[in-house]
Structure 1
């Protein structure tokens, strides 16, 4: 019996060493130590098996990427925006069934009356894409307040609100303006006081043109000849609700723990009533800043990616298995490394996970 226990322990040790090595191989295959790179966190069954960065956060200063490096989240930011709305609902300062006219009386009456907050949170509002309303030659950045201005006079939606799923950055920009109208505070102040500080996310913040961001990764992109160019900002990268949270692996792990324990709001419970199925995706749903699957009628595997001019981010959470996979990169259009990470985890007998999200990543 002692010999059997010994060999079982040895086998577990070998597997525990094999997985980090395989993940390290993926990271170094995709990222060079002297180029923009990425930071990967893998937690399986509550144990951190990988937590490292490869590459440079800033090509000019040669700052190395680490678990403390802050990356722009792009659309991964939407889950934070959704939590702000849920907190205000918890404080009984709004209802998810409130329509836009309650907060913006000068919104088009027909459109404003028909769009509820829950439709914004599930990408079912049909609100027009603000990006399509910007002039083609525009060079100055657009911010959330202007998104509201662009949309409030429009007298149509893409479809009847609440009837269909259509991904919408406009929806989450409007949600930040709801927060400001309800709280009479800047969105940055509210999210810092109510999310980041209580959760100990001390370095997490939002982008503003003159705001200093600690341990900041700068964004880059590849030219057709594969050379790298600086690509940190774009016309649409300044909007807060849909994309400009900056955080690190270290702080995101705290966020994941808060979501898993329901420290702020029980998101899994809320998703039972704030969700919408995704056409063409069996057992695929969206709600509250998350794509997710369900098991026995309850959200089980969560996924979101984020892409912007200089960053590529992906997150998979499986709370029931205490599993978290996060890859942040300061290189645009760069989701292939995450797909390879998931392939490694799927092949590993100790950590095999359902990779429903992989289909969304690679198609």
Structure 2
């Protein structure tokens, strides 16, 4: 009898997954028009991919199709890699999360440099000014992480006392990239490649560097009127720590598997040590480069948006559930929301209102 019950359960599960796959594919087809940029989607349940596909064009000019191998600019999804770099250096004993940033930036304003700690940069609780708000409004050359330091080092004010509250900060993650360089003695791109990409066999992933080739690269686009126009770079697209990673669905799965398997660090323990409560969204936290809920069994989220890309990642490690949605269309949250609504029917307790966290990055 038990054997028949198990067979019935497996059959029902298989049918449910097939129906879910069909709904996901139908939506991906419906939201991608012929000859236009599009998106790539990976959905895993119980660690098994039930959907993995790309729709639309990675490069409209060359008519190159999006596949699971297409490398998208991750924008702020990159922050989890920058955070991992810092946590690996902590593991090496080369820094402490309680270190004040003046240890690494003696050129920083003394009062600010002594107050702000590495953990404040990691958790968006530093109070540092947003570099976008103090940069030259007529800036034409792309800013680098070192330019962010130059913009901030002489400032003598903060938005708030470090550690007292949450305010999303690209400035903090640009400084984290520079800390990685100064502590490791390597360029940020080389450190990320050697300490993260190589151990996880993420063979296609790279850190953006101007004029360097990115294999299988998706170009970015935005909607103008009824058409999509080329919109791949802006003056803030060359900073690395806050948004410079390019990766594909294939490689991103290796990253998530590495987190599940604690290949680099114990992510759950890192979240517990670094989680900053977000008062504006009760029950939510930020730590180790992730928004998360339910700390004991975390639900992870991050989005990434630039002038030509929009990405959304949701993971439930305890259930080995993942949705990675990478799009080379700007302002594509509506499609991500529709995809999440499909998954929400299966995981309503975990995924309810998860996209409200995206609003905290604005």
**Distance in 2 (alpha carbons) for counterparts of 1:289 and 1:356:** 20
SS at match of 1:158: coil
**Distance in 2 (alpha carbons) for counterparts of 1:5 and 1:90:** 45
Answering whether residue 327 of structure 2 is matched by residue 326 of structure 1, we say: no
1:345–1:352 contact (8 Å) kept in structure 2: no
Answering whether residue 176 of structure 2 is matched by residue 175 of structure 1, we say: yes
Shift of 1:3: 6.6
Distance 1:57 1:116, change over 3 A: same
What is the aligned partner in structure 2 of residue 267 from structure 1? 267
Answering whether residue 146 of structure 2 is matched by residue 138 of structure 1, we say: no
CA-to-aligned-CA distance 1:25-58 (integer Å, 9 cap, x gap): 1111211242100000000111110000000000
Alignment length (residue pairs)? 359
What is the aligned partner in structure 1 of residue 120 from structure 2? 119
Q: Structure 2 residue aligned with 1:303, among 291, 301, 304? A: 301
2:97–2:117 contact (8 Å) kept in structure 1: yes
**Distance in 2 (alpha carbons) for counterparts of 1:81 and 1:228:** 31
Question: TM-score, length-normalised on structure 1?
Answer: 0.95
1:57–1:330 contact (8 Å) kept in structure 2: yes
Segments of 4+ in structure 1 off by > 2 A?
A: 1-14, 351-356, 358-363
CA-to-aligned-CA distance 1:266-322 (integer Å, 9 cap, x gap): 121022121211113121001121100125xx2510000000000000000100011
Q: Identify unmatched segments of 5+ residues in structure 1.
A: none
What is the aligned partner in structure 2 of residue 81 from structure 1? 82
Q: Identify unmatched segments of 5+ residues in structure 2.
A: none
**Distance in 2 (alpha carbons) for counterparts of 1:221 and 1:274:** 35
2:291–2:357 contact (8 Å) kept in structure 1: no
SS at match of 2:264: coil
Distance 1:299 1:111, change over 3 A: farther
1:38–1:329 contact (8 Å) kept in structure 2: yes
What is the aligned partner in structure 2 of residue 212 from structure 1? 213
Shift of 1:138: 1.3
1:70–1:246 contact (8 Å) kept in structure 2: yes
Shift of 1:354: 2.8
**Distance in 2 (alpha carbons) for counterparts of 1:109 and 1:4:** 69
Q: Structure 1 residue aligned with 2:352, among 344, 350, 355? A: 355
Question: TM-score, length-normalised on structure 2?
Answer: 0.95
Answering whether residue 22 of structure 2 is matched by residue 25 of structure 1, we say: no
